Structure 1
């Protein structure tokens, strides 16, 4: 994935800082203008890059913090005379260079952020800096196209990290591979790592240690196959065309490139090792042997049904007689923000009914503002799975992959704002399901003193003439806005549509107070009592709360005493019940 080079290769006459700045700026301008899918970019530590920027901009007058592109960085300024930087040192980006293996390359920390920890340089810029300064290690990353309908180029800083699991031997190896690589390339690399021939191996999506789908479409990308970061890939070794089974028994079906004829067999699969590291950090590197084995019995059910369910990672645990809709969503990393929004939508009665019926008739396939129906179909499929009877949980991987294709900001497995995702999802579903195929132009009329109900109905009719979907029916309303001209006193009333209401979080209005209660006759030991009173409460509020907590009798009463300075026993009686509690 990355090559390591630590030699110094500074050669030729040393240029002045200004000459270096101009040369790198010109190279960066040309490289940024011609970036394309498949180009290589290089990570360089922010610390070293910042030093170099200040070194070459000592005589300039702009601020480095205002520079947004690489070429602008080269025109930003330093402040005082600085020494020429030493060789490039990317060691602070490296996770564990000492344990590097041939399959993983040099691993970088999982929590790096561009602009804070590193800068991405085009290959031409890196090559020139490396020629001048040397150092390393070299950390190359590829540009990929993450867009669907149009090109959206991005540098894949973190390619997929997959653990290959060989059956029946139990060997394992962790690799890095781009999500845009094909299943065929993954197949080839797996065979190369474990020294197997292509003909005797087939690979499975083994998410959650369950066989989900046979990966036999060699031209399909891993992204399209919904392969996720840090998941397992099962490398199944076929002996003379048959599955290797426990005790040498063979399954009777022949592999025809699909899973249609797979017979029920007892397969030896590795158990989950204690070496597995959660949260995406590399644990066991390289191939390891002698894993403990467990017997897993494949369920004898039609493959079409099995693959349909397992595409969503549906749990094999079934519950008899449980109500429909009580199905959980498994987290894919830190995707609880997505799962909570999905559960809110799928349990909205109107939406649940709509998507369980024939909603396909209302998909607007040609809406330029929509997602050609793909988001609606992915959501509808997920909703139907969640409402299917007898299931306990499923992993929304196909929906997550589809969401990331249309909204790259939700790619990966980090935490995001749930409301931002909900807003994108509702907008996308609305456009995919908009019943209006040709939007007319409508000019709104002024209220001119007409009744609010009449004006509101007119504005709503104008709105649904352009926007009419199940999302509008269920999730949209109207704001009434009134503007008064301070000069002529003309009143303008409009009714604007809305889908989200921003409400302030209510501040805490109460506080807890701990009181020591004494009896006047000393018949009981002092006791501590904690009560809740209004923040701006008065003495009467405290007395009421204490009376209830202490279960006072009708002939008993409370006197409040404030201890001002405990060391000197300075007491203050609070006799006025209207006084505010300090």
Structure 2
């Protein structure tokens, strides 16, 4: 038995080998594991037929899962840029990740790096794990200097984003709001399709989104919405 009451090494090896072959399905969650840690684990469990001479040797025991090599310094969820699948990290489905954590735990102070499977392609659809999320800058219409940055999946909807913004800025559920795209030219475009995804809406990295609250008298600070024509920012 491995330390911490982990399953027999043969069981670990066969379970993870099987789960690595899992097909990608839209909406499923997969987890990143640092390749360095995973290679050490493979040695320990004798994963490869040609590399079994250290199997079970405590000198190669991998210890808690350590993803620090994938992360920017001081940020538990921000990945380093230009990471490459299988070279820098491997991807495991939820069941595989849960098994590894139950056997080895996760390094103290770290959080799981969970990512969704999204569908890509205009005509020929294919699934891939969305490793790098889209960073959006969020603010209120009344105070656009107070910008909060959050990361979202391309599969997240406008409704999901709006709920997150309401939470950030403590906007009551009963308060009527509108969401706007703000462009560099101070042009504003309404985001009025709540079921539309980030991908559908064409939102890009660093896009500024502005939430506007309805006035008590029933008017809107930005005036009437004109979906087909961007609004110029009022002075």
TM bucket, shorter chain: 0.7 to 0.9
TM-score of the pair, normalised by structure 2: 0.81
Report the alpha carbon displacement of residue 212 of structure 1 after superposing the two structures with TM: 4.2
Verify the 8 A CA contact 2:136 2:209 in the aligned structure 1.
Answer: yes
Report the alpha carbon displacement of residue 127 of structure 1 after superposing the two structures with TM: 1.0
> How many residues are paired up?
224
**1:227 maps onto 2:208 in alignment:** no
Report the alpha carbon displacement of residue 56 of structure 1 after superposing the two structures with TM: 2.2
Cross-structure match for 2:116: 142
Verify the 8 A CA contact 2:141 2:211 in the aligned structure 1.
Answer: yes
Q: CA separation of 1:261/1:56 partners in 2, compared to 1, >3 Å: closer, same or farther?
A: closer
Cross-structure match for 1:116: 87
RMSD of Structure 2 on Structure 1 (CA): 2.8
**More strand per residue:** 2
CA distance in 1, matches of 2:16, 2:231: 62
Report the alpha carbon displacement of residue 11 of structure 1 after superposing the two structures with TM: 4.5
- Corresponding residue to 2:72 among 84, 95, 101: 95
Cross-structure match for 1:536: none
CA distance in 2, matches of 1:261, 1:148: 26
**More helix per residue:** 1
CA distance in 2, matches of 1:15, 1:263: 64
Verify the 8 A CA contact 2:13 2:47 in the aligned structure 1.
Answer: no
Verify the 8 A CA contact 2:30 2:93 in the aligned structure 1.
Answer: yes
Report the alpha carbon displacement of residue 238 of structure 1 after superposing the two structures with TM: 3.2
What 5-or-longer segments of structure 1 have no aligned partner?
1-9, 62-76, 101-105, 245-250, 267-296, 298-582
Verify the 8 A CA contact 1:57 1:78 in the aligned structure 2.
Answer: yes
CA distance in 2, matches of 1:167, 1:141: 31
Larger radius of gyration: 1
Cross-structure match for 1:176: 151
Q: Deviation per CA, 1:553-572: give whole Å up to 9, x if none.
A: xxxxxxxxxxxxxxxxxxxx
What 5-or-longer segments of structure 2 have no aligned partner?
none
**1:125 maps onto 2:96 in alignment:** yes
Report the alpha carbon displacement of residue 46 of structure 1 after superposing the two structures with TM: 0.8
- Name which structure has the greater RCO, CA cutoff 8 Å, separation 6+: 2
Q: Deviation per CA, 1:427-484: give whole Å up to 9, x if none.
A: xxxxxxxxxxxxxxxxxxxxxxxxxxxxxxxxxxxxxxxxxxxxxxxxxxxxxxxxxx
Q: CA separation of 1:116/1:25 partners in 2, compared to 1, >3 Å: closer, same or farther?
A: closer
Report the alpha carbon displacement of residue 162 of structure 1 after superposing the two structures with TM: 0.4
Cross-structure match for 2:141: 167
Q: Deviation per CA, 1:162-211: give whole Å up to 9, x if none.
A: 01122222322111111122112211211111111464422211132632
DSSP 3-state at the match of 1:165:
strand
Cross-structure match for 1:51: 40
TM-score of the pair, normalised by structure 1: 0.35
Cross-structure match for 1:211: 187
Cross-structure match for 2:14: 22
Cross-structure match for 2:49: 60
Q: CA separation of 1:57/1:148 partners in 2, compared to 1, >3 Å: closer, same or farther?
A: same
